[in-house]
């Protein structure tokens, strides 16, 4: 006699007044098939946020902090420079709250990101890829000054790291209460995650080592070269160590002021470079062997987590940040070898039964 277990669900026990109430409380998920046997590995999967990335947290806090301070008036336009995820998050928040949004983005970033922002009601202004992240940042500043729009300032605002200290870090503390947490592995874009989580973990879980990563061919922190800054801690120029890399959402061509807090405060214990294509490889392994569909940045962080795991003592617990979903990388190297038409193996499977017809 066999006993079958049928999965059931119970709902959340309450309803939500808007999509914005569903931001945060993303799960820490065990990695079962591609983790070394001597450690426990988990990923904090931010794709569970309603607009699909960790930047939903930042987006809601930027807007609500500006509302509280009076900097954002009803109906006022918001403008921001973004590689995509912050723009998508802001588009969701602005759609719900009724603010027009204009996004500036270098034309090198994936096409599906602009489509997602436009689908959510935003206007997307493309800037030349040759001008890199600093170019799209400068364009956002110009538009804000010209039209009196609110510049979101994700790279400088205190609202960035604050929301990670108040939510992301608290979720980690709750999920690992009474359990080991030896390592927390993350990359950086604005630096909000490592700064906010670092603030909290160094006090609440000082035994947890934070491992920060950046692209191997764009080691801004690793170069030791200080970022040139202007007014309000804004970047004054492109960082000399930057080179274009395939890890979209990671490491713009300047060191954000938000990230500078983590650097100056020594919030992380190790800094490791990772090649972009290694991030692609591990994102594919997470998808095919764990059913976890993350982007190149998630794959890159996980690659470093695997490096850490190989060197960690038996019984160690490692938590790796996965910032977003892989679905916004369809036009990038992550999907370039994924077939659109049937492969030879698929044709063979189809032909194995009667009624086979080539489409």
Which of 306, 274, 291, 294 lies closest to 334, judged by CA?
A: 294
Q: Strand 209-215's sheet: what is its strand order?
A: 28-30, 40-45, 317-322, 183-186, 209-215, 270-274
**CA trace torsion 60, 62, 64, 69 (10° rounding):** 180
Strand segments, DSSP code E, in the chain are: 28-30, 40-45, 78-81, 101-106, 123-127, 150-151, 183-186, 209-215, 270-274, 317-322
**CA gap 240, 253 in Å, rounded:** 8
**CA gap 322, 298 in Å, rounded:** 4
* Catalytic annotation present for 179: no
CA separation, residue 7 to residues 10, 25, 203 (Å): 10, 22, 39
What are the two backbone dihedrals, phi and then psi, of residue 137, each rounded to the nearest 5 degrees? -65, -45
What are the two backbone dihedrals, phi and then psi, of residue 115, each rounded to the nearest 5 degrees? -65, -40
Q: Residues 53, 110, 238, 297: which is the catalytic one?
A: 297
Angle (nearest 5°) at CA 155 between 150 and 159: 70
* Catalytic annotation present for 69: no
**CA gap 299, 284 in Å, rounded:** 8
DSSP 333: T
Displacement of CA 183 from its chain's centroid (Å) = 18
CA separation, residue 224 to residues 105, 229, 239, 276, 352 (Å): 27, 15, 11, 21, 60
78-81 and 270-274 beta bridge pairing = unpaired
Q: Residues 55, 83, 238, 301: which is the catalytic one?
A: 55
What residues are annotated to the active site? 55, 297
């Amino acid at each position: 006699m066999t006993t079958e277990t049928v999965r059931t669900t119970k709902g959340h026990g309450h309803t939500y007044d808007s999509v914005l109430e569903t931001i945060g409380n993303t799960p820490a998920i065990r990695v079962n098939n591609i983790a070394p046997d001597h450690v426990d590995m988990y990923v904090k999967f931010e794709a569970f946020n309603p607009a699909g990335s960790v930047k939903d947290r930042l987006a809601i806090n930027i807007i609500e902090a500006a509302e509280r301070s009076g900097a954002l008036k009803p109906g006022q336009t918001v403008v921001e420079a973004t590689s995509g995820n912050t723009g998508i998050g802001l588009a969701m928040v602005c759609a719900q709250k009724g603010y027009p949004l204009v996004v500036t983005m270098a034309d090198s970033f994936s096409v599906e990101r602009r489509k997602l922002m436009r689908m959510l009601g935003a206007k997307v202004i493309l800037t030349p890829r040759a001008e890199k992240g600093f170019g799209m940042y400068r364009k956002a500043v110009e538009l804000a000054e010209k039209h009196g729009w609110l510049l979101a300032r994700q790279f400088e605002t205190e609202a960035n790291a604050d929301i990670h200290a108040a939510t992301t870090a608290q979720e980690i503390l709750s999920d690992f209460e009474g359990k080991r947490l030896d390592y927390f592995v993350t990359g950086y874009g604005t630096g909000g995650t490592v700064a906010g989580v670092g603030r909290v973990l160094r006090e609440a879980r000082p035994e947890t080592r934070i491992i920060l990563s950046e692209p191997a061919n764009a080691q801004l922190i690793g170069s030791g070269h200080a970022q040139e800054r202007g007014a309000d801690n804004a970047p004054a120029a492109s960082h000399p160590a930057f080179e274009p890399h395939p890890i979209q959402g990671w490491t713009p061509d300047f060191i954000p002021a938000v990230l500078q807090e983590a650097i100056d405060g020594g919030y992380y214990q190790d800094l490791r470079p990772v090649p972009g294509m290694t991030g692609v490889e591990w994102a594919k392994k997470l998808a095919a062997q764990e059913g976890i569909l993350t982007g190149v940045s998630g794959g890159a962080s996980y690659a470093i987590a695997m490096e850490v795991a190989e060197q960690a003592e038996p019984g160690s617990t490692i938590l790796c940040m996965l910032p977003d979903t892989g679905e916004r990388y369809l036009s990038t190297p992550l999907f370039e070898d994924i077939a659109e038409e049937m492969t030879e193996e698929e044709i063979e499977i189809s032909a194995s039964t009667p009624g086979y017809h080539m489409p």
